[in-house]
């Protein structure tokens, strides 16, 4: 896992090569909505991209993590099916439902059943290298979503430029990121992380939570500003030094949300002394997101190291998949 995390910028570079070399046919009609289908490590990119593009994409973006799709999907909907293995049963189910609606379907996958479907049905298909745990292939899969939106004319190419800038940033900051991640993991060891961020970065927080779950084998939760100020903040009433607050911070924060964060720190400091602020680096929200994701991945790895556990192992998920494979 350490090698896979260390290869993050190389994966981003490879993803850009794949995206640039993939030809797309034009849709039969203008796109009026986007549905992104995917779960787990394959689906987190959809959550992140939907938040990053919300002020630039002119059509609504809905992220779906289920067996079924929303009723609004029709022939003018772009349905993006994200399955790293190509065999995710929920995503295959969503594909079949989208097909009956005559939706415009695009696939991001390493192959498997989706690879066969994409080739047979002549779908727009961004194929990425296989053989990794899906969560470790984020650098390969996430940029393909940006290419999809750009190739369908839904966004400008500024996001592709930001990926190139993010690659340089991550390479330049590589050792500093690992040093900071080690220090953070020491503070989170034997703690339950509570992850907060501004709403634009909720997908980044979700990614960090998932990496803590899968790599570090720990429970944690996340919430966002300003919503948490209307509910969860009231729940901080009892001292619990087993909790550790992690706050992702950004230069892009809305000033009123910055003041909310100052206030919540003052409140929460009464109940736990472990409050960690992680300040993103980068010139825009995409660069900052990729920086925070890479740092968070390292934190999850170093936590696994401190616990003496294998960050790759996910036997309980494999067991569930084996059970489901026996059902009709």
Mean pLDDT of 39-52: 94
What separation in angstroms does the CA of 274 have from each of 188, 206, 213, 222, 229? 8, 20, 20, 16, 20
Beta bridge partners of 63: 36
Q: Which residues contact 200 (CB under 8 A, 6 or more apart)?
A: 51, 52, 54, 250, 252, 285
> Is the pLDDT assigned to residue 295 strictly greater than 90?
yes
Task: Give residue 326's pLDDT.
Answer: 77
Percentage of the chain modeled with pLDDT above 70 = 99
- Banded pLDDT at 299 (limits 50, 70, 90): very high
> Looking at the annotation, which residues are catalytic?
214, 230, 321
What is the C-alpha R_g of the chain? 20
Task: Give residue 52's pLDDT.
Answer: 94
- Banded pLDDT at 315 (limits 50, 70, 90): confident
* Helix or strand (DSSP H, E) at 252: none
Distance, CA of 242 to CA of 232 (rounded, Å): 17
Task: Give residue 78's pLDDT.
Answer: 98
Axis crossing angle, helix 158-172 with helix 285-307, rounded to the nearest 10:
40
Domains 2-165 and 175-307 share a fold: yes
> Across the chain, what does the average pLDDT equal?
94
CATH class of 175-307: alpha beta
SS3 state of residue 135: helix
Cite the beta strand spans of the chain per DSSP E.
Answer: 33-37, 61-64, 77-83, 104-109, 124-127, 192-198, 221-225, 243-249, 275-279
> Is the pLDDT assigned to residue 317 strictly greater than 80?
no
Q: pLDDT tens, 191-233?
A: 999 999 999 999 999 999 999 999 999 999 999 999 999 999 9
| pTM confidence score | 0.94
Token pair of 297 as six digits: 């991945």
**Region 2-165: CATH code:** 3.40.50.10490
* Helix or strand (DSSP H, E) at 146: helix 138-151
How would DSSP label each residue in 150-194?
Answer: HHTTSS-THHHHHHHHHHHHHHHTHHHHHHHHHHHHHHHTTSEEE
Beta bridge partners of 244: 193
User: CA angle, corner 63, sides to 277 and 151, nearest 5?
Assistant: 100
- Banded pLDDT at 86 (limits 50, 70, 90): very high
Task: Give residue 15's pLDDT.
Answer: 96
Q: pLDDT tens, 248-266?
A: 999 989 999 999 999 999 9
User: CA angle, corner 186, sides to 182 and 191, nearest 5?
Assistant: 135
Task: Give residue 70's pLDDT.
Answer: 96
> Is the pLDDT assigned to residue 81 strictly greater than 90?
yes
Beta bridge partners of 192: 243
On whether the CB atoms of residues 31 and 179 are closer than 8 A, the answer is no
> Is the pLDDT assigned to residue 320 strictly greater than 90?
no
Matching residue, tokens 């609504």 = 60
Domain boundaries, the chain: 2-165, 175-307
On whether the CB atoms of residues 124 and 24 are closer than 8 A, the answer is yes
Task: Give residue 2's pLDDT.
Answer: 85
Q: pLDDT tens, 135-182?
A: 999 999 999 999 999 999 999 889 999 999 999 999 999 999 999 999
Q: Name which residue leads in pLDDT, 123 or 325.
A: 123
> Is the pLDDT assigned to residue 83 strictly greater than 90?
yes
Distance, CA of 284 to CA of 289 (rounded, Å): 9
């Amino acid at each position: 896992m350490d090698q896979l995390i260390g290869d993050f910028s190389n994966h981003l570079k490879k993803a850009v090569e794949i995206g640039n070399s993939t030809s797309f046919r034009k849709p039969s009609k203008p796109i009026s909505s986007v549905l992104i289908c995917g779960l787990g490590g394959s689906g987190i990119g959809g959550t992140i991209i939907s938040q990053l593009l919300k002020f630039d994409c002119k059509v609504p973006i809905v992220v779906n993590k289920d067996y079924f799709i929303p009723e609004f999907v029709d022939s003018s909907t772009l349905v993006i099916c994200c399955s790293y293995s190509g065999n995710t049963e929920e995503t295959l189910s969503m594909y079949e439902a989208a097909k009956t609606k005559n939706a415009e379907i695009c696939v991001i996958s390493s192959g498997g059943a989706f690879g066969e479907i994409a080739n047979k049905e002549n779908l727009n298909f961004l194929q990425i290298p296989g053989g990794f745990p899906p969560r470790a292939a984020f650098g390969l899969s996430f940029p393909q979503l940006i290419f999809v939106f750009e190739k369908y004319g839904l966004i400008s190419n500024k996001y592709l430029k930001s990926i190139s800038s993010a690659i340089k940033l991550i390479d330049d900051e590589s050792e500093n990121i690992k040093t900071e991640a080690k220090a953070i993991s020491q503070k989170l060891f034997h703690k339950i992380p509570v992850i907060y961020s501004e709403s634009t970065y909720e997908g980044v927080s979700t990614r960090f939570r998932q990496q803590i779950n899968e790599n570090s084998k720990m429970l944690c939760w996340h919430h966002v500003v300003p919503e948490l100020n209307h509910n969860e903040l009231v729940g901080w009433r009892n001292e619990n030094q087993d909790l550790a607050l992690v706050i992702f911070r950004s230069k892009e924060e809305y000033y009123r949300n910055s003041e909310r964060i100052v206030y919540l720190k003052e409140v929460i400091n009464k109940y736990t002394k472990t409050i960690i602020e992680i300040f993103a680096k980068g010139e825009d929200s995409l660069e900052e997101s990729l920086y925070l994701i890479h740092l968070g991945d390292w934190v999850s790895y170093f936590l696994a190291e401190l616990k003496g556990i294998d960050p790759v192992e996910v036997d309980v998920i494999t067991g569930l998949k084996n059970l489901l494979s026996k059902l009709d």
